[in-house]
C-alpha cells in the first residue's frame, strides 16, 4: 500500500489565534475513505484545506503521490482534487449542467467530453437528466448535495475532499447520500477525505477514522479498532455518546 | 398650457428632436464611460482592498454640487459637450464603483472558496463567479446612474453643452414658461423610458436563473456583431457631424438680446458662406466663459458689448467711452488675445434714466442735470444690483448731485408696471429693453457721460478670420445695420410677444434685405 497523501512534520500557527497544529504527521493510503472527526475548532477543516492549498502550513511539507505540493502549481493541483463543501454552495448563476461542468470547463475539455462527463455523473449521483437545465434554487436540498458531489467528481480527480457535505440535509436524505457515496467510492476507487462532526457518519463511511483534538491526532485507525480500543479518554467519550444514542 | 405646449412641439419639432438627440448623445457617452471606468475601479477596489481610499475619494466628489462640478470643468476642458460629458461621467462613477464593490464583497465567502478550491485562476474566479453573481447589484447601479445622468444632463447647457437643458435655460432667460415646461417634460420622458427599459433588464438579472440566460445573450456572436455595428454607425455619425474644418462655432450669452444676435449671426453666415454654423446658445457665466472658450478654440466668434469687454475682460477700471477708447480696446484684443473687435452693429445697449412724459413735462426735464435739480421731489426705481454696483446709484448721485426723495428695489419685470402705476417717478433702464416698446417713457440725456458706452459688435478670433475670409464679408453685411429701435422691437417680440429668437432674427434679416427669403 502506498501513501497517496503524506503530511510530514506540519506546523500551523496563527498570529491572531491560540490555535495551532504542531508536528502533524499522517499518511493516507490510496483508495481509502478517511473520515476526520473532532470537536469544532480542532483543526479538521484546516487539515483538509492544506491539501488543496487553500491554507498553507507554517512549516513542514505535504506530499501527494510522493511529490511536495509546495513545488506544484496550485491551480493545477486543485483541478486534480475534487472539493465539496458544507451547505448548498452550488453557483447560483449557473445551470446544473454548467455547475457540474465547472472544472472540465476550466481545464478546457472538449465539448463532447464535457457532455459525456456531465451525463455520466448526473446518473451516478442518481439525478434525472431533466434537471440539467434547471438552476440550483429550483432543486431540493438533497438534490443540491448530489449535484455538489457530481461537480466535485466531474473531472475524475484521484482525490476528493469533503467538508461536512451532508450537514445541511435531513437525516433520511443524509443516510441515502452516505450510502450512495459508498457506492461511488466502490465504483471509482478514489481516495476520499471526509470531515464530519457526526461520529456515526465517521464510523460508517470511513475505512479509517482520524480523531482530532486541539490540532493534534488522538487516534488514527480503522473504525473497528477505534470502537474496540479507544486510545484516549477523549475518543472514549466521543464513542460514549454514540453508544447511548444506539441503546436508545 | 397644453395647447401652447402642443403648438410649440408641432411648430418646432426639428429644434426639439435635435435637442433630444444631443441630450441622448451626451448622456449615453457619459453613461458608457462611467460604466467602464466605474466597473474597473469597483473591481480593482474589491480585488485589492488596500485601495479602498478610492471609494472615499469618489464619494467625496459625489458630494460636490453638480452645478459646481460643471463649473470646475470650464478652466480645464473649456465649455461645450466635452466638459459636460466629463462632469457627468465623474458624477456617475460613485454608484458604479460602490455597487460593483459591494456586489463582489457580499458574495458568500464559501462560494468563492469553493470556486477557488476547484482550481479557478483569479481571472476565472472574477469572470465566471464574482462578476456574474454581482451582476444584479451592478445592473441596479447602471439603471440608477443612467436615469440620474439624463436628468443631470439638463443643466449641462449651463456650460455650453447641448441637450434639452438648452430649451429650459432659454425658457428661463427669456421668460418663456412653455419652453421650460417643454424641456422638462422631454427630459422626464427620456428618463422614464430608459428607466423602464433598464428596469426590464434588471428584473431579468434579479433572479439567479436569469443572469445566466442574460449573459448567454452576449455569448452569441451575432449579438456581439450587432453591437459592434451599432457602435460603428453611431461613432461614424458623430464623427461625420463634427467636421471641424468648415464649421464656425458661435456662442451667445443667456439673455434675450444675445439669443437674437446669435441667430442673426448664424443665419447671416449660413446665407453668405458655405460654412456650417454651430451655435451654442445661452452660455452661462457670460463674457468670461465665452472668452475662455474663444481662447481654447471651442468658439470662433460671439456678439459682445464694448463697455462690457472693456471692464470684465480687459479689467479696466475707468469708464469706457466709445469715441476715445475703442481704438485701444480693439488694439488690446489683437495684441493680447489675437482676436478682433471686427465690427459694430449700430445699436447701443447702455444703461439709461427715464421718466414718464407727465413728469418730464411738469419739471421740463431733458438731461440728467435737469433731473438732479428736482430729484428731492421724486422716487427712483431700479433692480437691486443698481444700488450695489460701483457704477450704480451712489456714483450717479455723486456725479450729478442727485438726492432722491425715496428709492425702490424692483425686479426687472416689475419696473415698468411700477412707473406706469405711479409708484416711482424715475426708472433705470436698459436702452434696448423690449418692454420699453409697451411703455411710454422719456429717456433723459446723460450730459456728463456717466454711463459707459455699450455698443454691440462681433468679437472674432484672428485665426478664424484667416481660415475663413468669407466670414468677414458676411459680418460686413451687418455692420451699422441694426438700430437701437430695431433691437428694442426684436426684444419686444421675444420677451412680450413670445416669438422665437430664430424667427424674429430671420424676419428682420429678410426685411432689411440682408439675406434672401
Q: What is the CATH number of the domain that holds B411?
A: 3.40.190.120
Q: What is the pLDDT of residues A141-176, one digit of tens each?
A: 888 888 988 898 888 888 999 998 888 778 888 888
Interface test with B, best of A93, A94, A168 (most B CBs within 10 A): A93
- How far apart are alpha carbons B188 and B364 in whole angstroms? 57
Q: In what order do the strands lie in the sheet with B351-355?
A: B406-409, B379-382, B426-430, B351-355, B442-443
Asked whether residue B214 is assigned to any structural domain, the reply reads no
Chain A residues with CB-CB distance to B133 below 8 A: 91-93
In a domain, B487, yes or no: yes
On whether any CB of chain A is under 8 Å from the CB of B212, the answer is yes
CB contact under 8 A, B211 and A93: yes
Contact indicator for B280, B250 with CB cutoff of 8 Å: yes
Residues of chain A contacting B129 with CB distance shorter than 8 Å:
91
Nearest by CB to residue A92, choosing from B118, B121, B208, is B208
Residue A154: closest C-alpha in chain B = B118
Pick B133's closest partner by Cβ from A82, A83, A92. Answer: A92
The pLDDT value recorded for residue B452 is 86
Distances (CA, A) of B223 to A99, A161, B128, B229, B369: 25, 41, 20, 10, 80
pLDDT of residue B486: 92
**Nearest chain B Cα to A49, which residue?**
B117
Our CA-based measurement puts residue A2 at a distance from the nearest CA of chain B, in whole angstroms, of 25
In a domain, B95, yes or no: yes
Q: Does one domain contain both B17 and B101?
A: yes
At residue A248 the predicted structure's pLDDT band, cuts being 50, 70 and 90, is very low
Identify from A56, A64, A80, A92 which residue to disrupt to test chain B contact, counting B C-beta atoms within 10 A and taking the largest count: A92
Of B443, B475, B500, the domain-final residue: B443
Among the listed residues A164, A207, A230, the one whose alpha carbon sits nearest the alpha carbon of residue A34:
A207
Examine the domain organization and report whether B412 and B464 are in the same domain: no
CB-based contact A226:A243 (threshold 8 Å): no
Out of B206, B228, B254, a domain closes at B206
Distance from the A223 Cα atom to the nearest Cα atom in chain B, whole angstroms: 29
Quote the CA–CA distance of B360 and B267 in Å, as a whole number.
41
One-character DSSP codes across B6-30: HHHHHHTHHHHHHHHHHHHHHHHHH
Residue spans of chain B under pLDDT 70: 205-220, 237-245, 285, 413
Whether residues B411 and B340 share a domain: the answer is no
Are B40 and B124 contained in the same domain?
yes
B123 touches chain A (CB under 8 A): no
For residue B108, which residues of chain A lie inside 8 Å, CB to CB? Answer: 89
With CB atoms and an 8 Å threshold, state whether A78 touches B124. no
User: From the CA of A132, how many Å to the nearest CA of chain B?
Assistant: 13
Q: How far is CA B29 from CA A121, A231, B407, B445, in A?
A: 48, 72, 52, 55
Q: Which of A32-41, A101-110, B214-223, B417-426 has the lowest mean pLDDT?
A: B214-223
What SS3 state is found at A84?
Answer: strand
pLDDT in the model for residue A159: 92
The shortest C-alpha distance from A204 to chain B (Å) reads: 26
What CATH number did the domain enclosing B89 receive? 1.10.3720.10
B485 part of a folded domain:
yes
Across the range A89-102, mean pLDDT stands at 90
Both B249 and B148 in one domain: the answer is: no
Q: Residue A93 is nearest to which of B119, B120, B208, comparing CB atoms? A: B208
Decide if pLDDT at A67 tops 70: yes
Mean pLDDT of A198-214: 90
Query: Are residues B367 and B292 part of one domain?
Result: no
For chain B, the domain total comes to 3
Give the pLDDT score at B516. Answer: 82
The residue segments making up the domain with residue B275 are 245-349+453-511
Torsion of CA B336, B342, B348, B351, to 10 degrees: -10
For residues B120 and B202, state if they share a domain. Answer: yes
Minimum Cα–Cα distance from B212: chain A residue = A93
- For residue A79, the chain B residue with the least C-alpha distance is B119
Report yes or no on B7 lying in a domain: yes
Q: Are residues B80 and B170 in the same domain?
A: yes
Helix residue ranges per DSSP H, A125-170: 141-153
In a domain, B382, yes or no: yes
Chain B residues with CB under 8 Å of A95 CB are: 212
What is the model's pLDDT at position B507? 93
- Tell me whether residues B118 and A83 touch, CB distance under 8 A: yes
Q: Are residues B439 and B457 in the same domain?
A: no
Residue A227 C-alpha, separation from nearest chain B C-alpha, in angstroms: 33
Final residue before a domain boundary, out of B389, B411, B443: B443
H/E element, B67: helix B66-77
Inform me whether the C-beta atom of residue B345 falls under 8 Å from chain A C-beta atoms.
Answer: no
DSSP state of B458: E
Q: Is the ipTM of this structure higher than 0.90? A: no
- Decide if B237 is inside a domain: no
Q: Do B342 and B427 fall within a single domain?
A: no
Out of A82, A87, A95, the one facing B212 most closely (by C-beta) is A95
CB contact under 8 A, B110 and A94: no
Instruction: Look up residue A80 and give its DSSP letter.
Output: T
B215 CA to centre of own chain:
41
Minimum-distance CB partner of A85 among B110, B124, B129: B110
**B109 in reach of chain A (CB within 8 A):** no
> Which of B111, B211, B215 faces A89 most closely, judged by CB atoms?
B111
Same domain, B386 and B499: no
The verdict on residue B334 lying in a domain is yes
Structure confidence at residue B451 (pLDDT):
87
The alpha carbon of residue B200 is apart from the nearest alpha carbon of chain A, in Å, by 18
- Dist CA A52 CA A62 (whole Å): 10
Q: Which residue of B has its CA nearest to A99?
A: B115
Same-domain status, B156 and B33: yes
Q: Kindly state whether B466 is in contact with chain A, defined as any CB-CB distance less than 8 angstroms.
A: no
Minimal CA separation from B124 to chain A, in Å: 8
Amino acid at each position: 500500500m502506498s501513501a497517496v497523501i503524506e503530511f510530514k512534520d506540519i506546523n500551523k500557527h496563527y498570529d491572531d489565534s491560540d490555535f495551532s497544529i504542531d508536528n502533524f504527521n499522517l499518511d493516507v493510503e490510496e483508495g481509502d475513505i478517511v473520515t476526520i472527526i473532532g470537536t469544532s475548532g480542532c483543526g479538521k477543516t484546516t487539515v483538509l484545506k492544506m491539501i488543496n492549498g487553500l491554507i498553507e502550513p507554517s512549516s513542514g511539507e505535504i506530499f501527494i503521490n510522493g511529490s511536495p505540493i509546495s513545488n506544484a502549481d496550485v491551480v493545477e493541483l486543485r483541478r486534480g482534487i475534487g472539493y465539496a463543501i458544507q451547505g448548498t454552495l452550488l453557483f447560483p448563476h449557473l445551470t446544473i449542467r454548467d455547475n457540474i461542468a465547472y472544472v472540465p470547463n476550466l481545464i478546457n475539455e472538449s465539448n463532447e467530453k464535457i457532455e459525456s462527463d456531465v451525463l455520466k455523473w448526473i446518473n451516478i449521483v442518481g439525478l434525472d437528466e431533466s434537471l440539467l437545465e434547471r438552476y440550483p434554487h429550483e432543486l431540493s436540498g438533497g438534490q443540491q448535495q448530489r449535484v455538489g458531489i457530481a461537480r466535485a467528481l466531474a473531472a475524475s480527480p484521484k482525490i476528493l475532499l469533503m467538508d461536512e457535505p451532508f450537514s445541511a440535509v435531513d437525516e433520511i436524505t443524509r443516510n441515502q447520500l452516505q450510502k450512495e457515496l459508498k457506492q461511488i467510492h466502490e465504483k471509482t476507487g478514489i481516495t476520499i477525505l471526509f470531515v464530519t462532526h457526526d461520529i456515526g457518519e465517521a464510523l460508517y463511511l470511513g475505512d479509517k477514522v482520524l480523531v482530532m483534538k486541539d490540532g493534534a491526532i488522538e487516534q488514527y485507525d480503522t473504525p473497528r479498532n477505534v470502537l474496540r480500543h479507544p486510545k484516549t479518554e477523549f475518543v472514549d467519550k466521543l464513542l460514549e455518546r454514540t453508544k447511548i444514542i444506539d441503546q436508545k | 398650457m397644453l395647447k401652447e405646449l402642443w403648438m410649440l412641439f408641432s411648430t418646432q419639432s426639428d429644434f426639439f428632436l435635435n435637442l433630444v438627440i444631443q441630450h441622448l448623445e451626451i448622456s449615453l457617452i457619459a453613461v458608457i464611460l462611467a460604466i467602464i471606468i466605474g466597473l474597473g475601479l469597483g473591481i480593482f477596489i474589491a480585488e485589492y482592498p488596500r485601495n479602498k481610499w478610492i471609494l472615499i475619494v469618489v464619494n467625496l466628489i459625489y458630494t460636490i454640487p453638480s452645478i459646481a462640478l460643471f463649473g470646475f470643468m470650464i478652466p480645464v476642458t473649456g465649455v461645450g459637450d466635452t466638459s459636460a460629458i466629463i462632469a457627468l461621467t465623474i458624477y456617475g462613477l460613485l454608484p458604479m464603483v460602490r455597487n460593483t464593490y459591494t456586489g463582489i464583497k457580499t458574495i458568500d465567502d464559501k462560494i468563492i472558496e469553493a470556486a477557488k478550491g476547484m482550481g479557478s485562476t483569479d481571472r476565472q474566479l472574477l469572470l465566471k463567479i464574482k462578476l456574474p453573481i454581482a451582476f444584479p447589484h451592478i445592473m441596479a447601479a447602471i439603471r440608477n446612474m443612467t436615469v440620474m445622468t439624463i436628468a443631470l444632463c439638463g443643466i449641462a447647457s449651463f456650460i455650453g453643452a447641448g441637450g434639452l437643458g438648452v430649451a429650459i435655460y432659454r425658457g428661463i432667460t427669456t421668460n418663456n414658461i412653455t419652453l421650460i415646461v417643454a424641456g422638462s417634460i422631454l427630459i422626464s420622458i427620456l428618463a422614464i423610458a430608459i428607466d423602464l427599459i433598464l428596469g426590464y433588464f434588471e428584473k431579468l438579472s434579479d433572479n439567479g436563473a436569469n443572469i445566466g440566460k442574460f449573459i448567454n445573450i452576449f455569448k452569441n456572436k451575432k449579438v456581439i456583431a450587432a453591437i459592434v455595428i451599432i457602435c460603428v454607425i453611431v461613432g461614424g455619425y458623430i464623427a461625420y457631424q463634427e467636421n471641424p474644418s468648415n464649421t464656425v462655432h458661435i456662442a451667445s450669452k443667456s439673455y434675450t438680446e444675445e439669443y437674437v444676435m446669435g441667430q442673426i449671426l448664424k443665419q447671416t453666415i449660413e446665407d453668405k458662406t458655405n460654412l456650417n454654423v454651430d451655435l451654442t446658445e445661452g452660455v452661462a457665466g457670460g463674457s468670461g466663459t465665452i472668452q475662455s472658450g474663444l481662447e481654447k478654440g471651442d468658439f470662433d466668434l460671439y456678439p459682445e458689448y464694448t463697455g462690457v469687454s472693456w471692464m470684465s475682460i480687459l479689467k479696466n477700471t475707468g469708464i469706457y467711452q466709445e469715441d476715445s477708447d475703442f481704438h485701444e480696446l480693439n488694439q488690446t484684443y489683437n495684441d493680447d488675445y489675437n482676436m478682433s473687435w471686427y465690427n459694430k452693429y449700430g445699436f447701443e445697449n447702455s444703461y439709461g434714466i427715464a421718466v414718464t412724459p407727465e413728469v418730464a413735462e411738469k419739471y421740463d426735464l431733458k438731461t440728467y442735470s435737469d433731473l438732479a435739480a428736482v430729484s428731492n421731489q421724486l422716487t427712483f426705481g431700479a433692480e437691486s444690483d443698481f444700488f450695489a454696483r460701483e457704477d450704480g446709484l451712489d456714483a450717479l448721485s455723486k456725479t450729478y448731485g442727485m438726492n432722491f426723495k425715496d428709492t425702490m428695489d424692483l425686479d426687472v419685470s416689475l419696473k415698468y408696471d411700477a412707473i406706469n402705476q405711479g409708484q416711482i417717478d424715475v426708472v433705470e433702464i436698459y436702452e434696448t429693453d423690449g418692454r420699453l416698446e409697451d411703455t411710454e417713457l422719456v429717456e433723459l440725456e446723460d450730459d456728463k457721460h456717466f454711463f459707459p458706452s455699450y455698443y454691440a459688435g462681433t468679437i472674432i478670433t484672428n485665426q478664424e478670420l484667416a481660415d475663413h475670409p468669407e466670414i468677414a464679408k458676411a459680418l460686413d453685411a451687418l455692420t451699422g445695420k441694426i438700430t437701437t429701435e430695431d433691437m428694442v422691437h426684436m426684444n419686444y417680440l421675444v420677451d412680450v410677444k413670445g416669438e422665437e429668437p430664430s424667427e424674429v432674427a430671420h424676419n428682420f434679416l429678410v426685411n432689411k434685405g440682408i439675406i434672401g427669403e
